[in-house]
Amino acid sequence: MNKPADIFPKVISHAKEYGYVFPSSEIYDGLGAIYDYGQYGVELKNNIKAYWWKAMVQMNENIVGLDSAIFMAPKIWKASGHVDNFSDPLIDNKDSKRRYRADVLLEDKIQQYQKKGKTDKAAELETAMGKCLTENDLAGLKNLILEHEIVDETGSKNWTDVRQFNLMFSTQMGALAEGSEETYLRPETAQGIFVNFLNVQKTSRQKIPFGIAQIGKAFRNEIVARQFLFRMREFEQMEMQYFVRPNAEIEWYNYWKEKRMNWHLSLGIPAENYRFHDHAKLAHYANAACDIEYEFPFGFKEVEGIHSRTDFDLSRHQEFSGKKLQYFDPELNQNYVPFVVETSIGADRMFLLILCNAYTEEVLEDQSTRVVLKLPPVLAPIKVALLPLMKKDGLPEKARAIFDDLRFQFHCQYDEKDAIGKRYRRQDAIGTPYCITIDHQSLEDDTVTIRFRDTMEQKRIPINGILAIVKEELNEEKMLRGI
Ligand code: ATP
């Protein structure tokens, strides 16, 4: 059940209208590809990060967390290959003056061929593009764009040559008098894990295989920034580096592919909206790599990368720092530089996936339209809304008493303004899974009505049963067990 392309603008305006996402610096006309999270957005994003952290760190005894700094010694980015290689092929359209990523233009063309059933043409173009990217053949990329008659959004085929553009933001560190040094805002969180590998291994007494997980900001000066949260210049990553024995990496790569897909599916997102996509061009550090792709309203796109990074990073840091980054394996009685399997997912891209998947417009029996965010309950910003039917006769006091109890367990909201139907719609629009209505009968027999967001079904339940019902409905334990 994929969503039509035209819901994307609706998702963007809904996100703004209901306090999920605001364009950053809006009163100064915004800043390209930078966004702020509003009162519900911050909750949803925190819940996504918490669910990832639980699945990684809490559920795996051999994975521990880390929070490394954004600024790192500049030499790290030389060692990692980012200074020399972290660039995208850029192309401009001479007529529209619009800027594009050459590989993205070609990927979109491949998808168009696939959609039209021209699978041979799609495969041929994918192979040719992979070859050009591997060989850094920029003229070859331009030829493919011309050969396949790729046009820009205005229909123009008048392209410049392709050139490489480094995506790292640089800045100066230290006062000028001291002789400041050029450094970078990290473009990925992974390097903070690699350079702390031995610190963590020794202090946690972990044995290989083990993992280090980290959530944090990353910065990339992206060439094209026109897809809302999909491609941002400041974003957050949730990364886990798994350290394994040499030659065991492909086995663990396959293991993490399956585990990570299970994590996505545990959120109740339909499996047909997901697929794996093997990389046509392997990065300079990888010997196997794939993406988990989700069918966004604008097509199947990467949401998470799984990479077998070999011993590239640790070996390079060993070389550039002059410090040993080796592990003594007591079972093999041998020292070695571990191999690494990485899982890397964007918190913001996952947020966008969740919003696109949740956004639903339903025509009701009375022909009115209900807009509802069918968020996985465990991720919903507000879990329970407490709604007194009327603003009198002691109903607000009763509702507040329940609210004061429940908020120790869940993020709840109390709302007494407007007619009950309007309040339900408000909660539907922000994705609250359970509404509790308090009426006159509640005063007599301590029961309330619980309304379920997705079905709009209503049930009479005892007040002292709310906690158990909501906990069971949220179902987090079952979800985590299923991964
Ligand atoms: P793309 O090909 O889309 O540029 P990538 O292959 O460079 O992505 P990785 O370096 O593998 O991405 O980063 C891991 C994850 O970080 C991605 O799967 C994505 O979810 C997220 N991510 C990367 N770049 C951005 C960005 N500019 N904005 C938001 N999320 C991003």
Give the chain's domains with CATH numbers: 5-86+167-355 (3.30.930.10), 382-481 (3.40.50.800)
Ligand 1 centroid to residue 346 C-alpha, Å: 6
Long-range contacts, 38-45 (Cβ 8 Å, 24+) = 39/381, 40/381, 40/382, 40/430, 40/431, 41/15, 41/351, 41/381, 43/381, 43/382, 43/411, 44/20, 44/351, 44/354, 44/355, 44/375, 44/379, 44/380, 44/381, 45/236, 45/347, 45/348, 45/351
Tell me, in angstroms, the distance from the centre of ligand 1 to residue 182's CA: 24
Distance separating alpha carbons of residues 23 and 32, to the nearest angstrom: 9
- In the prediction, which pLDDT does 1 show? 46
Q: Whose CA is nearest to atom 6 of ligand 1?
A: 305
- CA atoms of 306 and 58, how far apart (whole Å): 21
Q: How far apart are CA 420 and CA 417, in angstroms?
A: 8
Q: Which of 82, 302, 352 to mutate to test the pocket of ligand 1 (most atoms within 8 A of CB)?
A: 302
**How far away, in angstroms, is 168 Cα from ligand 1 center?**
13
- Report the separation in Å between the CA atom of 187 and the middle of ligand 1, taken as the mean of its atom positions: 10
For residue 89 and ligand 1, the question of a CB distance below 6 A is answered with no
Q: Is 303 in the pocket of ligand 1 (CB under 6 A)?
A: yes
Cβ pair 429, 372 in contact under 8 A:
yes
- pTM to 2 decimals? 0.93
Does residue 338 have its Cβ closer than 6 Å to ligand 1?
Answer: no
CA of 293 to the centre of ligand 1 (A): 11
Question: Atom 11 of ligand 1 has which residue's CA nearest to it?
Answer: 305
Ligand 1 centroid distance, CA of 222 (Å): 10
Are the C-beta atoms of residues 341 and 309 closer than 8 Å to each other? yes
The alpha carbon of 217 and the centre of ligand 1 are apart by a number of angstroms equal to 12
| pLDDT tens column, 38-63 | 999 999 999 999 999 999 999 999 99
Q: Whose CA is nearest to atom 21 of ligand 1?
A: 346
Hey, which of 166, 169, 235 would you mutate to test ligand 1's pocket, going by the most ligand atoms within 8 Å of its Cβ?
A: 235
Question: What's the CA gap between 241 and 247, in Å, rounded?
Answer: 16
Nearest CA owner, ligand 1 atom 20: 346
Q: Whose CA is nearest to atom 23 of ligand 1?
A: 346
One digit per residue, the tens of pLDDT, for the chain of length 483 reads: 456 778 999 999 999 999 999 999 999 999 999 999 999 999 999 999 999 999 999 999 999 999 999 999 999 999 999 998 899 999 999 999 999 999 999 999 999 999 999 999 999 999 999 999 888 899 999 999 999 999 998 999 999 999 999 999 999 888 766 667 889 999 999 999 999 999 999 999 999 999 999 999 999 999 887 789 999 999 999 999 999 999 999 999 999 999 999 999 999 999 999 999 998 778 778 999 999 999 999 999 999 999 999 999 999 999 999 999 999 999 999 999 999 999 999 999 999 999 999 999 999 999 999 999 999 999 999 999 999 999 999 999 999 999 999 999 999 999 999 999 999 999 999 999 999 999 999 999 999 999 999 999 999 999 999 999 999 999 999 999 999
Ligand 1 lined by 232 (C-beta under 6 Å): yes
Report whether residue 216 contacts ligand 1, using a CB cutoff of 6 Å.
no
**Given the CA of residue 222, which atom of ligand 1 is nearest to it?**
27
Task: Determine whether the shortest distance from the Cβ of 301 to ligand 1 is under 6 A.
Answer: no
